[in-house]
Structure formats: structure tokens, C-alpha cells
Amino acid sequence: MIKMVNNWTNIIQYSLFPTSCIFCAKKAERLIDLCGACQNGLLTLDVQCIYCAQPLEIRTTEQQICGRCQKVPRAFDKVYAPYLHQGEIRYLINQLKFEKAYKNSKLLGLLLADFLLSKKAPLPDCIIPVPLHTERYRQRGYNQTLEIAKVISKELSIPIEHKICLRTQNTPHQISLSLKQRHQNIRGAFSVKQAITADHIAILDDVMTTGATANELAKTLKAAGAKKVDIWVCARA
């Protein structure tokens, strides 16, 4: 989202350093590192589960609920995800996570903020970025979800709470694990340092795959006092 009113710093910055598209190097039309054509080419999430945003194939006029949400009650309330975890978005996220492409956090944050506004997502009392274990944090040098959260916090004027929740277990990467293993692997991975006073929280993550991490964190936050926990992610697998 671009706030054009009273945004002189950005306007001055833009005329001095016009942004160019991260993919095709064409001059960007807005104050984000993306041109209109490349933005239109991003793979958006179309038919999806109304709770967990899992991409679904059947298109009907009825609202769809995926098999897993029908079977297992989820600890979170609703997932908001603009893009599929494929193509350019996947590339941006992987570069941010594994190749120190720190600046991608701004672009990803602006795209997600735009999406949340367009969907009229109910705004929470605070955003909690999924915490990294201290060891992983030391390796990476930053927490990519906190960096994305900072952009959204500024755009939507919602505070971030990134100190009340810790990742107490350094869980191995989930990529090679089955759905069941992922849920077992992540169990008890988070802890909360104090009682939660916010009623409504949005957990922020870069990607949601099976939802095991988001579900575990939502469960932990609800046990600590949160009433409603939504999940905001840049991409859904």
C-alpha cells in the first residue's frame, strides 16, 4: 500500500532514487520494487479452504472447507494468504531466508499489507511474527518474519509483539517430513513469557505449508489468553 498523502519523505526519495522492478529492472510505477506487469504475473491463491487457505481444485459456488479442516479442529481462526508458494514469490522468500536478500522483506510486506486491506481482514490488536530459535537467528542474522512484520506494522498501524513469545526448541527443517511428523516435530516448540492481554492476534509467517507451525503457535497463544488468532502469510503451499 502506498500512502500518498503526507508522505513527503517517500516522494522525495522516489524522485531522487526511482525504484526499479526486482525481476525485469523496468522502472517501477509505485514505491515498491516491482513493475505492474510483474506484479500481475504473480500467482495468486484462487479457490481455497475458507479456514486454512489451502489451495483447492474444485470450484463451486459453495464455500469450501479442506479435508483436514473438516477432520481436525484448528487452533487458529483464519489464514490470509495472497500468493501460492511458487514461481517469483517462492524465489523472493527463499532469497530472503537463505541468501540474505534482506530488502525482499519490504516488497513482501507491502504486497501482504495491500492484500489484507483489499480483503478487509479484521485488524488485530498486535502482530506476532513466528519466532526463530536463537541458534537459527544467530546463523541468519535476522528473523525474516520480523522484518516483514515491521513493514506491515507501519503500513497498517498495528504494534508488533515479538518479545513475549519464544521458540524454545530448535526444530529441524520441516521440508523432508510428512504431515504427521511435522506436527510431532513442532509440538511444544514455543513458549510465552507472560499472560497475553490482546484478544485478537495475527501470527505472521513467510510461508504456510501444512500449517503445523502456525497451529502450534496459535495453540500456545490461546492457552496464554488470546481469544482469536489469525494467520497472515505471504504464500501458501
> CA-CA distance, 210 to 214, in Å (whole number)?
9
Amino acid identity of residue 104, one-letter, is: N
- Alpha-carbon span 85 to 7, nearest angstrom: 32
Nearer to Zn ion, 66 or 224 (CB): 66
**Residue written as cell 484478544?**
199
Our finding on whether 21 is near Zn ion (CB under 5 A) is yes
Q: What is the distance between the alpha carbons of residues 46 and 68, in angstroms, rounded to a whole number? A: 18
Q: How far is the CB of 139 from Zn ion (least distance, A)?
A: 32
In angstroms, give the least distance from the CB of 196 to Zn ion: 25
d(CA 101, CA 92): 8
Site for Zn ion in 23-82 (CB under 5 A): 23-24, 26, 35, 38, 49, 51-52, 54, 66, 69
Residues 93/130, Cβ–Cβ less than 8 Å: no
- 57: Cβ contacts below 8 Å, ≥ 6 apart: 47
Q: Which is nearer to Zn ion, 53 or 132 (CB)?
A: 53
Interface region with Zn ion, contact rule CB under 5 A, candidates 22-30, 118-126, 143-151, 172-180: 22-30
Q: Where are the beta strands (DSSP E) in the chain?
A: 79-80, 83-84, 126-129, 165-167, 190-192, 200-208, 228-236
Residues across the chain: 237
Nearer to Zn ion, 167 or 183 (CB): 183
Q: Which is nearer to Zn ion, 40 or 176 (CB)?
A: 40
Whether 46 contacts 33, CB under 8 Å = no
Q: What is the C-alpha radius of gyration for the chain, rounded to an integer number of angstroms?
A: 18
Q: How far is the CB of 89 from Zn ion (least distance, A)?
A: 14
Residues 182-201 that bind Zn ion (CB under 5 A): none
**What is the amino acid identity at position 145?**
T
Minimum distance, C-beta of residue 78 to Zn ion, in the bound complex (Å)? 10
Q: Which is nearer to Zn ion, 79 or 132 (CB)?
A: 79
Which residue lies nearer to Zn ion by CB, 51 or 190? Answer: 51
Min dist CB 234 to Zn ion, Å, is 18
Q: Could you tell me the smallest distance in angstroms from the CB atom of residue 24 to Zn ion?
A: 3
The site for Zn ion (CB under 5 A) is made up of: 21, 23-24, 26, 35, 38, 49, 51-52, 54, 66, 69
